[in-house]
Amino acid sequence: MGRQPHGAAPETGGAADFAPRLLAWFDGHGRHDLPWQHPRTPYRVWLSEIMLQQTQVATVTGYFERFVAALPELPALASASQEQVLALWSGLGYYARARNLHAAAKACVERHGGELPRDLDALVALPGIGRSTAAAILSQAWGDRHAILDGNVKRVLARYHGVDGWPGTPKVEKKLWAFAEAHVASPALPDDRLPDYTQAQMDLGATLCTRANPACLLCPLHTDCVAHREGRAGELPTPRPGKTLPQREAQVLWLEDAQGRILLQQRPPAGIWAALWTLPQADDEAQARQWLERTTTAAPAAGASLPAIAHAFSHYRLTLHPRRWHGVALRDRVGDNDGLRWVARGELRSLGIPAPIRRLLES
């Protein structure tokens, strides 16, 4: 979409002003000191974008600092162990991101000379990088002209253009992509300002055009914003259809040996908490007793019950019922192939452990 031929058309005149107004606001009010902006290398931008998927900035910053301190460049990540990568990710959630990141780094060493490719399709071909993440990397690290469409931009554009419908549906998402592409193609967006433009959209969405209580009167776009004009900023974007989450229970077995080491078990490579280390888990008390008798010397009835732990996932709720035994040994015929491992307390921080289990063990 180019400039209007003469003057500003009443309905769409705001569209040509989108980028300039956003940039002017960004220069004075945007975030210019996020950790991945200094230096803004492709590797650091990539890592930040992956960590920021479905995760807020305040949660990410500490993880980002620790990760780049341990693995400062792409080749270091490629040659790191999966164990180290998962340990650095431990507590951040969505662990497939870490496995994909690791695999993508190896692919870059194999196929791209140890660097991220400066090409949208080549980036999207890497595991864990979709269209929006690829565009964010290219625009922020290289200044290339690509549109992003993350949660912030979806919210800003749904309001600015008055787009109805939940953005999770392909139909609505397609509309939003079209608007995002139109704005980034505007001649009013200077060639040298793509990194700032991309950051500015996310900053606006994160600081002013927030989900609840948007600060419309401070917004540089509010005079052209359809939602604001119609008093619907509070209703857009349309919320996701509600659903009641299923409830599940699990028994958690906290076993310590004579030296106070803790028995951990590595979870299967797929599913929830894939490949992470957790306390042995059973679906109910009967299965817990059976597993204890078959695998350990622990007397099932001797376990001390601990307070239940409520943990919410995005798709179900889990109530964990922990019990604890001391002075336990494994039975002779239990091999190493069960993914079982005695772990000293000091060793816990070097392993990928789900957040609620880590909290329990450190309580």
Contact residues for DNA, defined by CB under 7 A: 31, 34, 36, 48-49, 52-59, 91-96, 100, 124, 126-134, 136, 150-152, 154-155, 168-171, 199, 202-203, 205-206, 210-213, 237, 239-240, 242, 270-274, 311-315, 354-356
Catalytic residue of the set 11, 49, 230, 249: 49
| Cα 130 from Cα 121, distance rounded (Å) | 9
199 versus 295: smaller Cβ distance to DNA: 199
Told to judge if 293 belongs to the known catalytic residues of this protein, a careful annotator would answer: no
Angstrom distances, CA of residue 35 to CA of 58, 63, 89, 313? 11, 11, 17, 28
Q: Which residues contact 20 (CB under 8 A, 6 or more apart)?
A: 188, 189
Residue 334 CB, shortest distance to DNA, in Å, is 26
Minimum Å gap between C-beta 342 and DNA is 22
What burial class does residue 329 get, using C-beta atoms within 10 Å of its C-beta: 0-12 exposed, 13-18 middle, 19+ buried?
middle
Query: Between residues 304 and 312, which has the closer beta carbon with respect to DNA?
Result: 312
Torsion of Cα atoms, 94 then 34 then 137 then 222, to 10°: 100
**Quick one: tokens of 329?**
């040994």
Q: Measured from the CB of residue 227, what is the shortest distance to DNA in angstroms? A: 14
Coil vs helix vs strand at 110:
helix
CB nearer to DNA: pick between 151 and 322: 151
Tokens linked to 83: 């164990």
Element (H, E) at 36: none
Complex with DNA: residue 187 or 313, whichever CB lies closer: 313
Shortest Å, Cβ 326 to DNA: 26
* Cβ-contact 212, 178 below 8 angstroms: no
Catalytic annotation, residues: 49
